[in-house]
Amino acid sequence: MAIAADNSPMTAEQRKVILASSLGTVFEWYDFYLYGSLAAIIAKQFFGGLDSGSAFIFALLAFAAGFIVRPFGALVFGRLGDMIGRKYTFLVTIVIMGLSTFIVGLLPSYASIGLAAPVILIALRMLQGLALGGEYGGAATYVAEHAPQGKRGAYTSWIQTTATMGLFLSLLIILGVRTALGEAAFADWGWRIPFLVSILLLGVSVFIRMSMHESPAFQKMKAEGKTSKAPLSESFGQWKNLKIVILALVGLTAGQAVVWYSGQFYALFFLTQALKVDGPTANILVAYSLILATPFFVIFGTLSDKIGRKPIIMAGCLLAVLTYFPVFTALTKAANPDLAKAQAANVVVISADPAECSFQFNPTGTAKFTSSCDIAKQVLAGASVSYENVAAPAGTVATIKIGQTAISSYSSKGLPADEAKKKDVEFKAAVASDLLAAGYPTKADPAKINKVLVTAILFYLVLLVTMVYGPIAAMLVEMFPTRIRYTSMSLPYHIGNGWFGGLLPTMAFAIVAQTGNMYNGLWYPIIIAGATFVIGTLFLKETKDLDIYADD
């Protein structure tokens, strides 16, 4: 049922609601970016005493744990939020999340407490993931249920801005502490400071949330005795609601997630790993793009109150599908023109038995890729070199041809660890030497980086993020009835962002290694965003004018 928009100005209480709810999302991405930026230091501190294989597996588990458990947190805390209320549930989630982040800064290293260090770290990551699973749904629901009719997109879009603000804040603190202490002190103990600083965010957030009132929609429902006694079974055990949950996932959040991760994480990864731009320069250019694009979260959220959520989100997905390949190609030419020139002048070719070549999708780090083809592809993909594949006779050892030079690969299956390591070092050195001779740069030349153009390209990628992300909280809230809203919207959001989005780097690397083209990792977000565009366009209903107080 559509009702008239409320054109009254935002009150002080409503601003307080937005601030209190948004701080949790700041935490979410502040913490995520800390782990991403400090991964090498964290691995050394907590996994350095393990053998290389175990250390790698633990490091991947620590990073992935938060993603994996987010949907389970959505179920646990979503159920509580629909049964006992929004305010108290997401007060609990912010405390769990904040304390878990803070404790990482105090956690003794492997050298101090042995194997307990990585185990506790992974446990803390899982606690964070569980809390995050309940945090976003609670924040979005709470703000939307406080927002006046006709302004839910504008109000909830402030939550969406804080994801980017969390990244920016973490970037500033890491750079500030690193600069103040120096690299050696930062790597030794200074890395803990950004985690410890999070206690300030927690204190402010808890103080504000303690003074908040329960949302009007939940109060009304509770007064009428209409709260759900079994929100999980209502949300997922009844087809009329389950089909909306599924549609919210495949027709909305999956596409939003891959566009989000492509624009704000994969773009940075591509700059530093594929294009060899130094970390500080890449971070600064990304920071510029974030500053320029962040206001558009609110702009598109507000616009969605006027023209609808669906057209803006679907347009963002469609633009991603149509432009990712040319945009990332342009990014290569702007950030590392020497690499673009070398790729055009000297094509790299792998000749291998196709039966030896695996699809190297390895999210847990437990699979071993030991064939000569797999090793050759790993080395080139790790060096961000595009190559062509040529089928060789069965049983042939894979070779890498760079210009007129051919380098034989090797199989590490059955080799002793020391011998395998020696061969790995020799093979990588030979490939690197021939790549350098063929004009492939080992890093981007800072003097040749077109910083204005790179920033403009990154701004465009983040602009797409604001299109798909700015209006989505309001739309998810409006898709579900009040009695099961917290539970129902949280699960598709966290499956979409935790699994579809979280798998993007691993899946992209596997595609690049398999196909040989450094741009082919983009097929993953393009296919997911394309599917969301088609499904969302055909089956999603516009929700901007719905009365979210009507619980039918």
Among 122, 77, 125, smallest CA distance to 101 is for 125
Predicted local confidence at residue 262, as pLDDT: 93
Find the range with the poorest average confidence among 36-45, 264-273, 335-344: 36-45
Tokens of 18: 């937005």
What integer is the mean pLDDT of 457-483?
A: 92
Predicted local confidence at residue 211, as pLDDT: 75
* pLDDT tens-digit readout, 80-104: 878 877 778 878 888 888 898 899 9
Q: Which of 170-184, 317-331, 471-485 has the highest mean pLDDT?
A: 317-331
* pLDDT tens-digit readout, 279-315: 889 988 988 998 899 999 999 999 999 999 999 999 9
How much of the chain is helix, strand and coil, in % rounded to 5? 75, 5, 20
Distance CA 69, CA 77 (A): 12
Predicted local confidence at residue 523, as pLDDT: 95
pLDDT > 60? residue 363? no
Q: Cα–Cα distances in Å, from 257 out to 73, 158, 320, 493?
A: 18, 18, 12, 9
Sheet of 387-391: strands edge to edge? Answer: 387-391, 348-352, 399-402, 405-408
Predicted local confidence at residue 497, as pLDDT: 84
Percentage of residues of the chain with pLDDT beyond 90: 28
Q: How confident is the model at residue 533 (pLDDT cuts 50, 70, 90)?
A: very high
What integer is the mean pLDDT of 405-415?
A: 85
Cross-strand bridge partners of residue 349 = 388, 401
Residue that is written with structure tokens 């600064």 in the block: 284
Do residues 155 and 18 touch, judged by C-beta distance below 8 A? yes
Distance CA 397, CA 459 (A): 45
Predicted local confidence at residue 1, as pLDDT: 47
Higher per-residue confidence, 381 vs 361? 381
Q: How confident is the model at residue 38 (pLDDT cuts 50, 70, 90)?
A: confident
* pLDDT tens-digit readout, 210-246: 877 777 767 777 777 777 777 888 878 888 889 999 9
Residues written for the chain: 552
Tokens of 283: 């971070």
Q: How confident is the model at residue 137 (pLDDT cuts 50, 70, 90)?
A: confident
Written as one letter, the residue type at 46 is F
Higher per-residue confidence, 74 vs 105? 105
* pLDDT tens-digit readout, 448-466: 999 999 999 999 999 999 9
Q: Which of 118-132, 211-225, 356-370, 500-514 has the highest mean pLDDT?
A: 118-132
Sequence-ordered alpha helix ranges (H) in 107-151 = 110-113, 116-146
Q: How confident is the model at residue 549 (pLDDT cuts 50, 70, 90)?
A: low
Find the range with the poorest average confidence among 134-143, 264-273, 438-447: 134-143
> 10 Å Cβ neighbour count for 506?
19
pLDDT > 70? residue 264? yes
pLDDT > 70? residue 261? yes
In eight-state DSSP terms, residue 549 is T
Predicted local confidence at residue 67, as pLDDT: 78
Among 328, 276, 289, smallest CA distance to 436 is for 276
Q: Classify domain 12-335+447-539 at the CATH topology level.
A: Growth Hormone; Chain: A; (1.20.1250)
Q: How confident is the model at residue 3 (pLDDT cuts 50, 70, 90)?
A: very low
